[in-house]
Amino acid sequence: MEAVVWETGSVNDTIYYVVGAIVLLCLVAVAGLAIKKRGERRRPEIPTTPKPPAIEGPEGEAEEALAPDAAGAVQAEVREPETGEAESGEADLAEVEPEEITAAPIEAPESVPSRMQRLRARLARSGGFGNALLKILSRGDLSPADWEEIEDTLLMADVGLEATTQIMDNLKKRTKVEGTRDPERVKAILREELLELIDPAADRSLHLERIDGDPASILMVGVNGTGKTTTVGKLARVLVAEGSRVLLGAADTFRAAAADQLQTWGERVGVDVVRSDREGADPASVAFDAIDKGRETDVDVVLVDTAGRLQNKSGLMDELGKIKRVMSKRVPVNEVLLVLDATTGQNGMRQAEVFAEVTGITGIVLTKLDGTAKGGIVISVQRELGVPVKFVGLGEGVDDLAPFDAEGFVDALTA
């Protein structure tokens, strides 16, 4: 009886051990499965860098690096973070980067007739020396003191001594012959005299005929501070508005800022710019390269900017003459335009004379004519040089340059 009890206890103990072992094994198995599943769930989160292999390399390499045994599942889960990143902000940066390196959209230039009408109205509002003359004429009967005041006003407006003398003599003579002191009639006579000196019949067009398929060329000259480089950009817009294909040459190699400024204008207008990578390079060489590229690309006009050379620097003026000679070896120089600041008055006249001797200027571009009483420079510069004013600038806007209209100019002064 005792032996049986002992055996039964031993069997029970054995059963307990077996059951415990089985339970322990099950727990271990369950824990192992849980760990494995947890590892599989976390496995696709490994590529957490901003640029995972699936983006940088070929698709095959990305699959091998991530999960060759479960490529489909891994790829599906890897693409989800990319979509999330596109929504969160990294894709925003990717969208901004192309905008930073893309050139600004080309601006459409204002048509020439439109800008002429707008600038004529602006000149009329600015008044110039015409306002001072009208105040004198509005007094009624003109006394000797009034006549002297008219003469002083013309001189202060930089009409020039000889031109002023001619205007005053004719004005007094005609009013005496007609026996009138009526302000409106005096103003009308004054308008006629100014028009005669400015000469509405003068040829103010740009002669840009192409010869044997070569492009026409324009050389822009002028001293520092006149707005020459800006005028080159504005003139390019005028030519583009008229349907011409234009190329710019940055021959002002002494100032890197000048070439950069011209480059910016080229991007705005949509034209190419030829420039030197080296500051202080030979300006004549840059002008030569610009002409050659113009011939290769079949443009209509090559517009060459030059350094703002002081009229008392003979060496620099000689170099300017060299630029013109070098350009002439490739194509005829159709126009040499001198950019003058209208506010410089008679000093601008001296500049014009020196440039005319060196380069043989064919036309004048007057800048900063808005809001100034120095409009008489138009008369004096044409009278002294026999060269017409072809363009005027009446503001700082990109389209504030227009062909000079003699009648509109005089009407605005005497309105």
Which ranges of 69-203 would DSSP assign to H, the alpha helix?
71-88, 90-101, 112-126, 129-137, 144-156, 161-178, 183-198
Residue at token pair 């209209």: 405
Residue at token pair 């090559």: 302
Give yes or no for a contact between 258 and 229, defined as CB atoms under 8 angstroms apart.
yes
Q: What pLDDT does residue 92 have?
A: 39
Q: What pLDDT does residue 331 have?
A: 92
Residue at token pair 């990578």: 277
Q: Cα separation of 98 and 22, whole Å? A: 65
Closest listed residue to residue 413, CA positions, set 309, 351, 342: 342
Q: Which residues are annotated as a binding site?
A: 222-229, 305-309, 367-370
CA distances from 123 to 218, 304, 407 (A): 27, 29, 12
Q: Which residues are annotated as a binding site for GTP?
A: 222-229, 305-309, 367-370
Beta bridge partners of 248: 273, 303
Phi, psi of 200 (to 5 degrees): -60, -25
Q: Which residues contact 280 (CB under 8 A, 6 or more apart)?
A: 253, 254
Residue at token pair 């599989």: 40
Q: What pLDDT does residue 280 have?
A: 76
401 three-class SS:
strand
Q: Where are the domains of the chain?
A: 2-86, 113-198, 216-404
Q: What pLDDT does residue 217 have?
A: 96
Residue at token pair 């894709």: 91
Q: What pLDDT does residue 240 have?
A: 92
Q: Cα separation of 381 and 373, whole Å? A: 16
Q: What is the CATH number of domain 216-404?
A: 3.40.50.300
Letter string b/e over residues 344-360, b meaning 16 or more CB atoms within 10 A of that residue's CB: bbeebbebbebbbebbe
CATH fold of 113-198 reads Four Helix Bundle (Hemerythrin (Met), subunit A) (1.20.120)
Q: Cα separation of 22 and 166, whole Å? A: 128
- How many residues in the chain? 415
Closest listed residue to residue 290, CA positions, set 346, 236, 339, 343: 236
Encoded tokens for 109: 């230039």
- pTM of the prediction? 0.70
Closest listed residue to residue 238, CA positions, set 363, 408, 104, 114: 114
Which ranges of 89-143 would DSSP assign to H, the alpha helix?
90-101, 112-126, 129-137
Q: What pLDDT does residue 257 have?
A: 87
Q: Cα separation of 328 and 326, whole Å? A: 5
Rg for the chain, CA atoms, rounded: 41
Encoded tokens for 370: 């808005």
Q: Fold match between 113-198 and 216-404?
A: no
- pLDDT by position in tens, the chain (length 415): 444 444 445 556 667 677 777 777 777 776 666 665 555 554 444 444 444 444 343 333 433 333 334 333 333 333 344 444 434 333 333 333 333 334 455 667 777 677 667 766 766 665 556 677 777 877 767 788 888 988 988 888 888 888 899 999 998 899 888 887 777 888 888 889 989 998 888 999 999 999 888 999 999 998 877 889 999 999 999 999 899 999 999 998 888 788 999 999 999 889 999 999 887 788 999 999 999 999 999 999 999 999 876 655 667 778 888 999 999 999 999 999 999 888 877 677 777 788 888 888 999 999 887 655 677 788 888 888 888 999 988 777 888 888 888 888 887 777 6
